[in-house]
Amino acid sequence: MKRDFMKWMAGFRDSIATYDYYIDFAKVYRNVAELKIELNILNTLVGSKTIEKDFRHILGKYPEVLKCIPLLLAVRKEEIYCQDEQGGYIYDFSHQVFTENRIPVDRYVYFMERTGLFELLSHRIIQSVFDYATGVETGLDSNGRKNRGGHLMEDLVESFIKKNGFVKGDSYFKEMYIHEITGKWGIDLGAISNDGRAEKRFDFVVKTKNMTYGIEANFYASAGSKLNETARSYKTLALETDTIEGFAFVWFTDGKGWASARHNLEETFDIMEHIYNIKDLENGIVGEVFV
């Protein structure tokens, strides 16, 4: 029976965020703990009335505190470029600069002054450098949501695959390339690899007695140009796999972001047998299809 596209799409979700999606606190704590000693040394500058003198003294005794400085500015790099009316300069905060004790102290004093870090510390705008660094790490980790979000749908699909009795490495496989599928089961996938000249990786491959299923899983919470391209490319992939005996392409997708690319998605829906959303997963589609 032909499914109704609009009814199917009406079940799309706004979000599938899990509790650990927003911030990976374990990673935050781990990153800050690696700098705990150096951060606490810098903490002696909080409220300092002679902060330049004190900072010079710290660099003389504990030059390794330099590796903390980029974090205080929410920067992940070991080298930071800055310029002003005096010109430009690349500041090195790597392990090498403080182990070889070739620190241009005047330069780093200038850096601390011009970036506002001296003011932050000496005026007691913060009370604890360690706590401040934890906050900065938390903010930086929020940038990782996109990467975590990209795996949420994959994790969800995998959980339903497992619930239906499939075993990783035996009856289902994660992130499998076309050449690996061909090598393992002898399936000719030339129709989707341009006769071996192009490579394709499926998020999952499920192997049953009668069929091999190549699976893609994604979720789009917001609109974007990528959605139209995804719908078009998966439509082509579905048409190509229809010509391959013993192989089927299955696409699990969801998310309100599809509203902006509804027409392209509908074109794919109309020609693709195995396209499903989260509601389909919850209604047992895995057990119905992978037989």
Chain center to CA of 198: 25
Q: How many CB atoms lie within 10 A of CB 259?
A: 14
Domain of 161, CATH number, reads 3.40.1350
Nearest to residue 156, comparing CAs of 52, 3, 32, 15? 15
Residues 9 and 93 in one domain: no
**Gap between the Cα atoms of 155 and 222, Å rounded:** 19
Q: Is the pLDDT of residue 274 over 70?
A: yes
Residues 134 and 218 in one domain: no
Residues 218 and 278 in one domain: yes
CB of 45 closer than 8 Å to CB of 51: yes
Question: Model confidence at 9, in pLDDT bands (50, 70, 90)?
Answer: very high
Residues 169 and 285 in one domain: yes
Integer CA distances (angstroms), 139 to 28, 120, 126, 136, 252, in order: 9, 18, 16, 5, 31
Question: Model confidence at 195, in pLDDT bands (50, 70, 90)?
Answer: low
Mean pLDDT, range 60-79, rounded to an integer: 96
User: Both tokens of residue 255?
Assistant: 């998310």
Domain boundaries, position 190: 5-18+144-289
Q: What are phi and psi of 252, to 5 degrees?
A: -105, 120
**Gap between the Cα atoms of 76 and 96, Å rounded:** 17
- Mean of per-residue pLDDT scores for the chain: 94
Mean pLDDT, range 171-181, rounded to an integer: 96
Residues 184 and 227 in one domain: yes
Residues 215 and 99 in one domain: no
Residues 252 and 114 in one domain: no
**Positive or negative CA dihedral for 29, 31, 37, 41?**
negative
* pLDDT, tens only, 196-249: 567 899 999 999 999 999 999 999 988 888 999 999 999 999 999 999 999 999
Residues 153 and 14 in one domain: yes
**pLDDT at residue number 101:** 67
Residues 260 and 148 in one domain: yes
Question: Model confidence at 98, in pLDDT bands (50, 70, 90)?
Answer: confident
Residues 74 and 164 in one domain: no
Q: Is the pLDDT of residue 64 over 80?
A: yes
**Positive or negative CA dihedral for 240, 229, 201, 215?**
negative
Q: Which of 143, 162, 182 is the last residue of a domain?
A: 143
The whole model's pTM is what? 0.76
User: Both tokens of residue 228?
Assistant: 């139209």
Residues 174 and 132 in one domain: no
Residues 124 and 195 in one domain: no
Q: Provide the number of structural domains found in the chain.
A: 2
Q: Are strands 172-177 and 201-207 parallel, antiparallel or unpaired?
A: antiparallel
Q: How many CB atoms lie within 10 A of CB 95?
A: 12
